[in-house]
Amino acid sequence: MDDQGALPPHVLIFPLPFQGPVNSTLKLAELLSLSGLHITFLLTDFIHTRLLRHTNINSRLETYPGFRLESISDGLPEDHPRSSDQFMELFDSMKAVTKPLLKEYILTSRRPVTCIIADGILGFTCDVANEIGIPILYCRTLSACFLWLSFCLPKLIEAGELPFRGDDLDTPITSVPGMESFLRRRDLPTFCRSGDLSDPSIQLFKTEIQELPRAHGLILNTMEHLEGPVLSHIRAHCPNLYTIGPVHAQLKSKLAGKTSSSTSSSNSLWKEDRSCITWLDSQPSKSVIYISFGSLAVITKDQHMEFWHGVVNSGTRFLWVIRPDSIAGGDSGSNIPVELSLATKERGYIVGWAPQEEVLAHAAIGGFLTHSGWNSTLESLMEGVPMICWPYFLDQHVNSRFVGEVWKLGLDVKDTCERDVVEKMVKDLMQVRKDDFIRVADEMGKLARKSMGEGGSSYYNFDRLLKDIELMNA
Ligand code: UDP
């Protein structure tokens, strides 16, 4: 790459400031760095501080030549919670405050920036790139099926399928090409249920998605064999797609043998509780259901209790991540029914945050009760772990439909968490239909590994991405 003495390309990567996107985009940054590129990974101050607090990120990144971790302001006060229901405040603030800072940062960078890779929902980054005159590639860390759904929002409105109120949720949705036979109202993101077209989230996704073709290309953490039909629809709008997923697994396989098993590659914004791995070590093979609703979902106390009763009544062993901020109004403290406490001591384990990739790869895990975040879905799929899906927001509702109906990787129980339903679903996944689900999940894991291997589509597309960035440096 550097045969004529020229410096390698310098890529500035700017992720969406939430756990899921930071996790997968940082892994993409590491992959690019391992291929010889110089990287500046630019976070917001808020995320940067938390990442430094809970990981060994600085010493880990020291091993990458030319890798810099930097931060700029998102414009919100330090004590602002930046939670999922304050999305719009964060976006507005970043447009007003972060945009000029980003421009200034690039213009004064000691090393000229060859190109920007930014999250496609942050459309202002394309304005900055155009004003400075450097190329930009977008990345989206959500599923391609959600991306395509977002592209089709104007079609849904034109067809009169949007808006609707949160009723008759089984009504079919027929104006999303490629999904006509299985999509229902309940599979659309929850912001579609407001009955109001001026809903800020509908406006945001409708507008920002039309911006994607402005970039030189679009990087997606997915695989051709998984989302092929949807990807061909997206290609009509964004011809230059780099489908390079699953990024976490690509990085893991590149690092295999290079790092010791004690070196954590965590990008967590919470402190990982590794004691759960020791607990898993003492559990029988495929006997434990792992429960986690990701980094942003907040459930009510009632929902929490229904899940807890359902899982306990199923008699299955469980490992449950309960983030400190994940139950509205705080956890149930001392009011926990005695039968739940006893059963949890006997066959359960609860942590505040887990090393999830390692958990899903553990031999004791036989299923995943998940909120269907895209990273969690890919991590589960890669390890051949079947899922029970209880989506919370955004892409999760359509992801869970694909998991249940298209990929047959598990059960989609969205919109209900009554204890009897949860009990039945856990029994179905972990006992009654266990072998069928595991067979399909194993097959999916194999296909994913094939797409990452030499000759596979993700391998080819990552190589193409590298070559295209090198050409930008010429
Ligand atoms: N995660 C983790 N430990 C946990 C829960 C989640 O490391 O206890 C990681 C998980 O591996 C995934 C990310 O957090 O990479 C969550 O991203 P996802 O897209 O699944 O959901 P989000 O948090 O964005 O809703």
Q: Ligand 1 centroid to 374 CA: how many Å?
A: 9
DSSP letter, residue 341: H
Contact criterion met (CB below 8 Å) for 219 and 28: yes
Of the residues 356, 357, 383, which should be mutated to test ligand 1's pocket, given the most ligand atoms within 8 Å of the CB?
A: 356
Atom 7 of ligand 1, residue of closest alpha carbon: 356
pLDDT given for residue 209 in this prediction: 86
Contact criterion met (CB below 8 Å) for 423 and 310: yes
pLDDT given for residue 262 in this prediction: 45
pLDDT given for residue 211 in this prediction: 86
Is residue 295 lining ligand 1, measured as CB closer than 6 Å? Answer: yes
In the sheet with 10-14, reading across from the earlier edge strand, the strands are 67-72, 38-44, 10-14, 115-119, 136-140, 217-220, 241-243
pLDDT given for residue 284 in this prediction: 98
pLDDT given for residue 358 in this prediction: 97
- Detail the DSSP E strand segments found in 154-276: 217-220, 241-243
Residue 374 CA, closest ligand 1 atom number = 19
Of the residues 19, 269, 374, 387, which should be mutated to test ligand 1's pocket, given the most ligand atoms within 8 Å of the CB?
A: 19
Q: Ligand 1 centroid to 370 CA: how many Å?
A: 10
394 burial type by CB count under 10 A (0-12 exposed, 13-18 middle, 19+ buried):
buried
Phi-psi region of 40 (alpha: psi -120 to 50; beta: other; left: phi over 0): beta
Of the residues 82, 276, 375, which should be mutated to test ligand 1's pocket, given the most ligand atoms within 8 Å of the CB?
A: 375
Is residue 265 lining ligand 1, measured as CB closer than 6 Å? Answer: no
DSSP letter, residue 185: G
Q: Ligand 1 centroid to 471 CA: how many Å?
A: 34
Phi first, then psi, for residue 356 (nearest 5°) are -60, -45
pLDDT given for residue 462 in this prediction: 98
Atom 16 of ligand 1, residue of closest alpha carbon: 20
Q: Ligand 1 centroid to 266 CA: how many Å?
A: 11
DSSP letter, residue 332: -
Is residue 376 lining ligand 1, measured as CB closer than 6 Å? Answer: yes
82 burial type by CB count under 10 A (0-12 exposed, 13-18 middle, 19+ buried):
middle
Is residue 357 lining ligand 1, measured as CB closer than 6 Å? Answer: yes
pLDDT given for residue 261 in this prediction: 47
pLDDT tens for the chain, 474 residues long, are 444 458 899 999 999 999 999 999 999 999 999 999 999 999 999 999 999 999 999 988 888 999 999 999 999 999 998 887 888 899 999 999 999 999 999 999 999 999 999 999 999 999 999 999 999 999 999 999 999 999 999 999 999 999 998 789 999 999 999 999 999 999 999 999 989 999 888 988 888 888 899 999 999 999 999 999 999 999 999 999 999 999 999 999 999 867 654 456 789 999 999 999 999 999 999 999 999 999 999 999 999 999 999 999 999 999 999 998 899 987 766 678 899 999 999 999 999 999 999 999 999 999 999 999 999 999 999 999 999 999 999 999 999 999 999 999 999 999 999 999 999 999 999 999 999 999 999 999 999 999 999 999 999 999 999 999 999 988
Residue 294 CA, closest ligand 1 atom number = 23
What is the SS3 string spanning 77-140? CCCCCCCHHHHHHHHHHHHHHHHHHHHHHHHCCCCCCCEEEEECCCCHHHHHHHHHCCCEEEEE
pLDDT given for residue 264 in this prediction: 60
20, two tokens: 């899921």
Say which residues have a Cβ less than 8 Å from residue 201's Cβ, sequence separation at least 6: 87, 88, 189, 191
